[in-house]
Structure formats: structure tokens, C-alpha cells
Structure 1
Amino acid sequence: MKNQQQNNPLHGVKLADILEFLVNRYGWAEMGKKINIKCFNQDPSIKSSLKFLRKTPWARTKVEQLYLDSL
């Protein structure tokens, strides 16, 4: 069971930590250009983005991919 997630680079990384990393690296405006979603472009916040991303798998996948590409 320990080795079940060994090839998953996102294992153990919280979505909130991913968002904070991306905001610090790119800022909301650049993130909104890279991933065109309303929660990044109109009155952005970590809280509203987390709420949206937890309900929207396609958007979460794009955010996770941007994070992995940024590492």
C-alpha cells in the first residue's frame, strides 16, 4: 500500500498549496490568461478558487498541470 502513489507527483500536495504557489509565481492576471476561468479573472481569491476547483474536475486538472509544468 505504501508504494501505491509513488509515481504520482501530486501525492500529498494540497490544492490550497498549489494555488498559493501559482499565485506567488504568476499572479492572478497571468493565471487567468493561462487558464481562462472566472474565479481567476473576476474578483479572484484562494477561497473562491478552491470552492470552484473542488467541484470542477476539468479545471482542477488544468491547474494541477500548470503546477507540474512550473516545477
Structure 2
Amino acid sequence: MAAGTGDLPAKAPAATQQPGNPLHGVTLEAIVTELSGHYGWEELGRRINIRCFTSDPSVASSLKFLRKTPWAREKVESLYLFMLREAKRSGPTVHNFPPPKPKG
């Protein structure tokens, strides 16, 4: 086809589109799920005082509110980035699992 007929340019690989952006490719649902799993709803509501985290919290109700409320979404994304930095700073977790039993 000739140029200018509506052809879209080929997309670059996701890693090159926004290098260094830890939020790139992460859905809001994944962020809320990770935060609620990491902190729990009560602590999440304490850290970000919004009703969707404090009154009958759920991922679905949180997504509905956060998609309509940019300032709240920014706070959630900021806490997610903080959680990632803290996890990176604390380093890998060492588990004290017993050694595997030999096969045989």
C-alpha cells in the first residue's frame, strides 16, 4: 500500500517503548491485586484513605473508582512503586526449607 493510506507503523517491542518505566504493561487490576495481597485491605485503606479500600473493599469496586478518579489512581500507583522499591532494597528472601530428600 502507498504511504498515507492509513497503514499503522510497526510497533516496537514493549521493552523499547518505555524503558525504565516499571508501570509499563502492568494493569491497574494487577496493581490493586498485588497491593491488597501484600498489605491487606485494612492496611491499604490506612495508607490510602479512600472508601473503596475501607468500606466493603474488593478489587472490582476499587477498579471502578480508580479508573474514574485520577488523583486516587496516582496514589495507588505511587504506593505500588514504593512497594517495588522496598522489595528490591530488602533483597531476595532466604527460605529455610529442609533440603530435598534424595531420590532412590
- What's the counterpart of residue 55 of structure 2? 42
Larger radius of gyration: 2
- Which of residues 67, 70, 80 in structure 2 aligns to 1:54? 67
Residue range with higher mean Cα deviation, 2-11 or 60-69:
2-11
TM-score by length of 1: 0.93
Aligned mates of 1:54, 1:48 — CA distance in 2: 10
Q: Which runs of 5+ in 2 are unaligned?
A: 1-10, 85-104
Distance in 1, Cα, partners of 2:40 & 2:72: 17
Higher share in helix = 1
Corresponding residue for 1:30?
43
One-letter code aligned to 2:60: K
- CA-CA distance at 1:9 after TM superposition: 1.4
The amino acid that maps onto 1:40 is: F
RMSD, aligned CA: 1.1
Amino acid at match of 2:23: L
Per-residue CA deviation, residues 11-51 of structure 1 (Å, 9 max, x unaligned), is: 00010000110011000000000000000000000000000
Instruction: Report the TM-score, using the length of structure 2 for normalisation.
Output: 0.65
Aligned AA for 1:46? V
Q: Name the structure 1 match of 2:31.
A: 18
Q: CA deviation at 1:8?
A: 1.8
Per chain length, whose mean CA-contact separation is higher, i.e. which structure has more relative contact order (CA < 8 Å, sep 6+)? Answer: 1
Where does the alignment leave 5 or more consecutive residues of structure 1 unmatched?
none
Q: Equivalents in 2 of 1:15, 1:4: separation in Å? A: 19
